[in-house]
Structure 1
């Protein structure tokens, strides 16, 4: 094993990056040679006076950059000559960089999640925590996971405490849990006129009757919601006040107060889906702040950290928490302990905030590309969102536009995907900007979309 210890004195920046850069420099100047074994992480951490987690992250970063490779049970070695690892998708997410350009999936952009995950798992391996995640957890999961969840929710505007938070297997599972706890077969479930597409399948399986409520340019209409409550026996509303999908509308503070007032007047329960709430640097307070006894606030880390990290958070009033815990137990017995540990570690050590900031920056950059390329067309978007809503010109029918785009190698979703009844489908498509791993493919896809919008002579595709 090589006795190697970098000199980090008088250098500024994140320590794990400084170590990774020092490894690269040592390889370049010959002080580290091919097949040299690096120091054990614990030893190097001790010599540098750093945490094991920092050194683990540094080694993971060096592996990602192609400087090192690890061998199970043997250690970490300087990489030999040969092809460097593919880095089109820096997080290691397996997303194709060839073939059709996919604007249908509302996922976060690939970032540095893989390196962070490798470091966190290495840290767990060297601690006494790992074995605990192989056993059943207490009702609601480990207390430290709930404490981390509450800490994650507070910057969104909630005065959250650990005993008010319930963990789930992602936001979609959280939605299922909420419906199991708050509605009964045959109940009416109110939704926005355009809504999260899987709610239709969930309602069908739970035997709930969906009733769409009209929207305007500010989002869900308070007057229409009041009418729906008066004219039905609805007990629950599902809505997305922040960066609504597919329209990208964010309700104002005033609109949220109005919606909350209607809910209080009719004793209407609310499921507030806030999965995109991490994106805007400034945002109105959640509906849950205006109607705390009515509202289950639902979010997850999947849209801001990594979609494979299936951890969701529900913040709920006391009168609903027992039923929500029971629904979690019924549907999956317990939250995913190892994933919750990873998410909690990232929240408490600042990793989640760094990854979150990357998503904000990348979302802004991609929205700027879309605004430039689609200039002159009817685009509804938020500069901080992952998607945009493109209202089509009169000479295009949405399904024909979708088919034409697909023939040119670009996939989009039409408005029909997001409505309760097909007759209400708007002539528009949703374009998700962050799924593609590299911006060049985003640009290519948007330019194809722009070209189609400018065409006026598609026999068989035009509305007549």
Structure 2
């Protein structure tokens, strides 16, 4: 069969997008059938007389649009209705047992959560108040849920009363509700130079200005934060001090105190995202306890208990609680009562401690696996479900990400987390827990090791 070559006649825009549009057209017209094998991106680059980075970026975009898929050791194929039947897997976010190895999604392992959920549902099925969970509720309707929220925060090191807590549908929703409630269009939101990617989208949606603060091994640099706050009118700083997204670093106690002091001096809000907090056994005191009068503290059940348990907690100073609660009501009216009831039950019966301990042990074991396979390429990390790989000289993050994709391994380009794209580092984030099968995790890490050992010069050869 002749190699597929896209017809770029009349196509406009960046070259990589022209290739994607031509690919979509050929699939729609039937020129490319479902399951058809595409040429390696390096070979396509040679045929089109473009750089390998261009074709790699095109393939990556086509994967995101669900036009194509990669299979380890086999190549890249056109996706279609037959894809699910061929792989024997579900669609969506199901943990696939075949196809590309996914080290890009920062989700905890479901682990024992399924069996625990079955038990929880059995208990709820015998409850005399089950019908209430199908009705509208307010946060005052369940004292048991309020007690569970207080206990969950206590385990994170946050002391609070129920009237300072707002329940959201996960931490991401909590962050969005807080920004919706406490900022106005044109306000300046600061974040770590590398930050949780959805926060950038939130800022754009709310018409906020967003600017990065330089970071080092300990997180946000106090001198840079102080300088920016002295030169500009800053509304808030969003941070993830424990197991930071995406670097996996944890801010030391002294740095937390310094940031709290600067925030107080310049009268800015602090939004502390602590979804990974419980996964760090030696966690430091939350910023919320150092500057409680100005810190909106956010965590959730998803990273420690089960990713599908969409219960987030927002703990805020009293004066901010009603605006945040109103923002939650505006965006979803209320978190699903069934979710919050299961959350409360798991806190009460000890299930939450079992599931959290399982995630901690899994994270430690998988970090050890990564250390064994990737060796000196990565920092020594023992906590958390992800880590940051700074690429050796000669690599670009775009090139490496797409080389990995060609090899059937998905990772996340560091550019996705950079507030200032022009200063994005040549690095990638690797997640260790989305792949339920440990052998697939090892295979993915070994593939990354092989690419690193080959080096960027060899990777660019036209084969």
The answer to whether the 8 Å contact 1:397/1:461 transfers is no
**Aligned equivalents of 2:149, 2:208: Cα separation in 1:** 30
TM-superposed deviation, 1:405: 0.6
TM-superposed deviation, 1:395: 2.2
Equivalent position of 2:21 in the other structure: none
The answer to whether the 8 Å contact 1:188/1:210 transfers is yes
The answer to whether the 8 Å contact 1:139/1:325 transfers is no
**Aligned equivalents of 1:384, 1:97: Cα separation in 2:** 26
Matches within 5 A, 1:284-323: 284-323=284-323
Q: Deviations over 1:188-229 (max 9, x none)?
A: 101000000011111111100101011011111111111111
Equivalent position of 1:390 in the other structure: 389
**Aligned equivalents of 2:162, 2:240: Cα separation in 1:** 24
Q: Which structure ranks higher in relative contact order (CA pairs < 8 Å, sequence separation ≥ 6)?
A: 2
Q: Deviations over 1:428-447 (max 9, x none)?
A: 00000011011111111111
Matches within 5 A, 1:215-294: 215-294=215-294
**Aligned equivalents of 1:366, 1:113: Cα separation in 2:** 19
Secondary structure at 1:289's aligned position in 2? helix
Equivalent position of 1:343 in the other structure: 343
Equivalent position of 1:431 in the other structure: 430
* Residue 387 of structure 2 corresponds to residue 402 of structure 1: no
**Aligned equivalents of 1:405, 1:279: Cα separation in 2:** 28
Secondary structure at 2:241's aligned position in 1? coil
Secondary structure at 1:225's aligned position in 2? helix
TM-superposed deviation, 1:448: 0.5
TM-superposed deviation, 1:454: 0.6
**Aligned equivalents of 1:456, 1:158: Cα separation in 2:** 46
Q: How many residues align?
A: 371
The answer to whether the 8 Å contact 2:451/2:459 transfers is no
CA gap 1:461/1:141 in 2 versus in 1, 3 angstroms: farther
The answer to whether the 8 Å contact 2:395/2:456 transfers is no
Matches within 5 A, 1:44-443: 94-139=94-139, 142-377=142-377, 379-380=378-379, 382-443=381-442
Secondary structure at 1:375's aligned position in 2? helix
TM-superposed deviation, 1:457: 5.6
TM-superposed deviation, 1:161: 2.2
TM-superposed deviation, 1:146: 1.9
**Aligned equivalents of 1:285, 1:97: Cα separation in 2:** 39
**Aligned equivalents of 1:226, 1:418: Cα separation in 2:** 23
Secondary structure at 1:212's aligned position in 2? strand
The answer to whether the 8 Å contact 1:140/1:325 transfers is no
Q: Deviations over 1:356-408 (max 9, x none)?
A: 0000000000000001111121x135311100100101121111111111111
**Aligned equivalents of 1:183, 1:457: Cα separation in 2:** 44
Greater helix percent: which structure?
2
Secondary structure at 2:278's aligned position in 1? coil
**Aligned equivalents of 1:129, 1:120: Cα separation in 2:** 14
TM-superposed deviation, 1:126: 0.8
TM-superposed deviation, 1:165: 1.3
Q: Deviations over 1:52-102 (max 9, x none)?
A: xxxxxxxxxxxxxxxxxxxxxxxxxxxxxxxxxxxxx9xxx9411111000
Equivalent position of 2:74 in the other structure: none
CA gap 1:164/1:381 in 2 versus in 1, 3 angstroms: farther
Q: Deviations over 1:289-334 (max 9, x none)?
A: 1000010110001111111111001111112111111111111111
Secondary structure at 2:313's aligned position in 1? strand
Give structure 1 stretches of 5+ with no counterpart: 1-88
**Aligned equivalents of 1:161, 1:381: Cα separation in 2:** 38
The answer to whether the 8 Å contact 1:390/1:431 transfers is yes
TM-superposed deviation, 1:104: 0.6
CA gap 1:177/1:140 in 2 versus in 1, 3 angstroms: farther
Equivalent position of 2:40 in the other structure: none
Q: Deviations over 1:130-185 (max 9, x none)?
A: 10011111256633212101101102111122222110000010011110111111
**Aligned equivalents of 1:262, 1:457: Cα separation in 2:** 43
**Aligned equivalents of 1:124, 1:139: Cα separation in 2:** 19
Q: Deviations over 1:104-137 (max 9, x none)?
A: 1000013011111111111111111210011111
CA gap 1:338/1:177 in 2 versus in 1, 3 angstroms: same
- Give the TM-score of the pair, scaled to structure 1: 0.78
The answer to whether the 8 Å contact 1:248/1:380 transfers is no
Larger radius of gyration: 1
The answer to whether the 8 Å contact 1:141/1:334 transfers is no
Equivalent position of 2:10 in the other structure: none
- Give the TM-score of the pair, scaled to structure 2: 0.78
**Aligned equivalents of 1:108, 1:210: Cα separation in 2:** 29
Matches within 5 A, 1:8-23: none
Equivalent position of 2:452 in the other structure: 453
